[in-house]
Structure 1
């Protein structure tokens, strides 16, 4: 049996981004209940960090992108790695 992926959201607690990280974790858990093992919230020791990883592979970095991910975008990034065949319904890419 293949081990289910772990999603990690590393956020800057000094920037007060914990609520944003928790909200994104809730959305990910709601959409990928059967496909993932866990979502981990990791307070960063690096100021300004907001990075999202799937099994230690970075999929989004706030500093590199110059912004936070939209929920729809985040779900698509995760889906493409953990369950490419899964439909995200209204959050899916338009054809």
Structure 2
């Protein structure tokens, strides 16, 4: 029997993809944001495609704020832009 593959939705483009194809962003219980390459950090997570246009859509449509149920600062947005740009190459 084939192994079940977890599916997650990108907060930018709203497409459903396999979990390993997406970048996970986590808000820890202390309120700190970080990129989670392992997918195992504790806290509230949101997933985004490794494309800059998806990140820009998520920022414009407040998808990240909705997922984390809190405001997202410019520092995190810039960190995400750098991470997504490095994934695109």
Scaled by the length of structure 1, the TM-score of the pair is: 0.24
Scaled by the length of structure 2, the TM-score of the pair is: 0.25
